[in-house]
Amino acid sequence: MKIIAGIDIGNATTETAVAGTEYGKVEFLASGIASTTGIKGTSDNIKGVFNSLAKALKAAGLTEKDLDEIRINEAAPVIGDVAMETITETIITESTMIGHNPSTPGGLGVVSGITVLLSDIAKAEQGTAHVVVVPDDISFEDAADAINSFAEMMDIKAAIVQSDDGVLIDNRLNKPIPIVDEVSLIDKVPLGMMCAVEVAAPGGVVEVLSNPYGIATMFGLDPEETRQIVPIARALIGNRSAVVIKTPEGDVKERRIPAGIIEISGSRNKVTVDVDEGSDKIMQAIDLAGDMQDASGESGTNAGGMLDKVKLVMAQLTGQSIREIKIQDILAVDTFTPQKVRGGLANEYSEENAVGIAAMVKADKLQMEKIAEELTEKIGVPVKVGGVEADMAIRGALTTPGTDKPLAIIDMGAGSTDASIITDDRRITSIHLAGAGNMVTLLIKSELGLRDFETAEDIKKYPLAKVESLFHIRHEDGTVQFFDKPLDSKLFARVVILKDGNMIPLEGEHNSIEKIRLVRKNAKQKVFVTNALRALSRVSPTGNVRDIPFVVLVGGSALDFEVPQLVTDGLSQYKIVSGRANVRGAEGPRNAVATGLVLAMSEEDGK
């Protein structure tokens, strides 16, 4: 009996299958999995190959010496990368809005009045409603005393406070009023102007000032003025407290940032499209162009920067010149990202529109031969480059119980979504598309304003819960779980990720469980459902996805707890049966390519 190994070097993961084979019969012995080291298709991969192989051999009770032959994948000559550009920007040219989530606002409700410095309240007009402005050189005790003593004489509706003493002032007032605190640039608050203040109850969000018609009602705006304050209302959505001040020259603009033009050269046409127009238009342009030969962005614009960055990264990683790098596919999606409002007074954030792009470039295919040669030298076992990755994946996928030809697979990895189809007469067609797991993670990261990729990756992979007391949590599906021992007090009232039996608390109060869930699901939908349909329509013999009866999902992203359902759902509208693979009835959606490599080897051996 010969001992053989198939090794699949992916963008993210290196997977191994070890088997014994004799007379074309094959018996799988063990599998191994390790992170890919370095960029796929470079000699940096060798370390990851050793790790993955070592795990499989150990599980099989074998050593490298027992191996007769190794096959590595003829890597799909594509590498993916992702980029994002913001295409709108909110600018306040005159201070007119404060919307933020101070941790300690005071009072409750929505009121309006004329802004006046607390120290000037004695001189203010009686009988007029006022909102007092309290710089931090006034202590909370003095502020509370002053508001209390003037409460009889003057109509004080609300307070805007520079320090974070909202609650301390509030506690000392005879008659509570809404208080917005932590307004750092308080000297920029215009005085003698009409001002509306809203503070929501704990756990709530402002409802009047985040609604254009609410603002219009407070200030008696006409339709044209109402149209102009839409960006303010939008920027205030989701805040616990907000202030809007009407100044004669005040202006908040939503500006569209000229993002630039992308030019796509395809087999049919050369098409240009303005990134500002959003992802649908970009995807239509890509369709119109035919098979993509290259894409470039107008130089000096964000679009140019975005595509150049992808090409530069790929050029550096593969040691080619930037001119040799050709973009082969693009997936564009509409997204949004919280950005600091320019000209804001209290670090206000606004959700700006953005376009996310996953791009895929052709990589140098000869590199796999080099890796095979190096490996042969190091291990002393013949290492060959086996069949095309997509063909191998389909062979591996066909070991899923209940599958048969004709069959299509969708391989959902980190950088690309690949699809292939095998017909009754064993003809295989395949395609590689930009956009997969990394794109989903990027969307989650930017939409939730997270600092690091790892947190976003965890949010993608694991369910959430809210720690409601030290003895119970509420899972995102609403079920409650109790604990005998108290949880770590640091977790109290936090949204946590349930990862491998641990609870990882998330930073940031803006992100409720509902919002994170929505962002997470939408990101998966936008990337994987879109790409599943795009991929299948390209490999379908008729060009129509409806003519594909069965689809099996493989790859790391098919392990996702939501993606397979979303894709199954999306495809069921086209009467396609789809589901997650179970390679060799044991491996789930993993190890398809490695398994296929072993099967191909043993078939040759049997001839």
Residue 62: which of Mg ion, ligand ADP, none does it interact with, CB under 5 to 8 A by kind? none
* Burial of 265 per CB tally in 10 Å (0-12, 13-18, 19+): middle
Q: Which among 180, 76, 85, 186 is positioned nearest to 137, based on CA atoms?
A: 186
The residue from 346, 560, 579, 595 that contacts ligand ADP (CB under 6 A) is 560
User: How far is it, in rounded angstroms, from Cα 351 to Cα 330?
Assistant: 24
The reply to whether 415 sits near Mg ion by the rule CB under 5 A is no
Q: Contact at 8 Å (CB) between 516 and 464? A: yes
Q: For Mg ion, which is the closer residue by CB, 10 or 579? A: 10
The reply to whether 260 sits near ligand ADP by the rule CB under 6 A is no
* Dihedral angle computed from the Cα positions of residues 243, 181, 107 and 94, in that order, rounded to the nearest 10 degrees: -10
Instruction: Pick the stretch among 4-12, 106-114, 138-146, 206-214 that binds Mg ion (CB under 5 A).
Output: 4-12
Q: For Mg ion, which is the closer residue by CB, 9 or 407? A: 9
Q: Which among 295, 349, 439, 330 is positioned nearest to 99, based on CA atoms?
A: 349
Least distance in angstroms from the C-beta of 394 to Mg ion: 13
The reply to whether 457 sits near ligand ADP by the rule CB under 6 A is yes
Q: Tell me the CB-side half-sphere exposure of residue 606, using CA atoms within 13 A.
A: 13
Amino acid at 98: I
C-alpha dist (Å) from residue 420 to 16, 81, 293, 408, 423? 21, 22, 20, 6, 10
The reply to whether 437 sits near ligand ADP by the rule CB under 6 A is yes
The residue from 413, 435, 564, 589 that contacts Mg ion (CB under 5 A) is 413
Least distance in angstroms from the C-beta of 413 to Mg ion: 4
Q: For ligand ADP, which is the closer residue by CB, 240 or 460? A: 460
The reply to whether 461 sits near ligand ADP by the rule CB under 6 A is yes
Binding string, 145-184, against ligand ADP, x = CB under 6 A? ----------------------------------------
Q: For ligand ADP, which is the closer residue by CB, 416 or 578? A: 416
Binding string, 386-415, against ligand ADP, x = CB under 6 A? ---------------------------xxx
Do β-strands 78-86 and 349-362 pair in parallel, antiparallel, or remain unpaired? antiparallel
The reply to whether 10 sits near Mg ion by the rule CB under 5 A is yes
Greatest CA separation found in the chain? Answer: 102
Give the DSSP H or E segment for 355. strand 349-362
Binding string, 351-380, against ligand ADP, x = CB under 6 A? ------------------------------
Instruction: Pick the stretch among 89-97, 256-264, 278-286, 408-416 that binds Mg ion (CB under 5 A).
Output: 408-416
- Mention every residue, 6+ apart, whose C-beta is less than 8 A from residue 410: 417, 418, 419, 531, 532, 535, 536, 551, 552, 553, 554, 555, 558, 567, 578
Q: Contact at 8 Å (CB) between 83 and 359? A: yes
The reply to whether 564 sits near ligand ADP by the rule CB under 6 A is no
Q: Residue 22 has which token pair?
A: 């004799």
- Rule CB under 5 A: which residues touch Mg ion? 10, 413
- Rule CB under 6 A: which residues touch ligand ADP? 10-13, 36, 413-415, 437-438, 457, 460-461, 555-557, 559-560
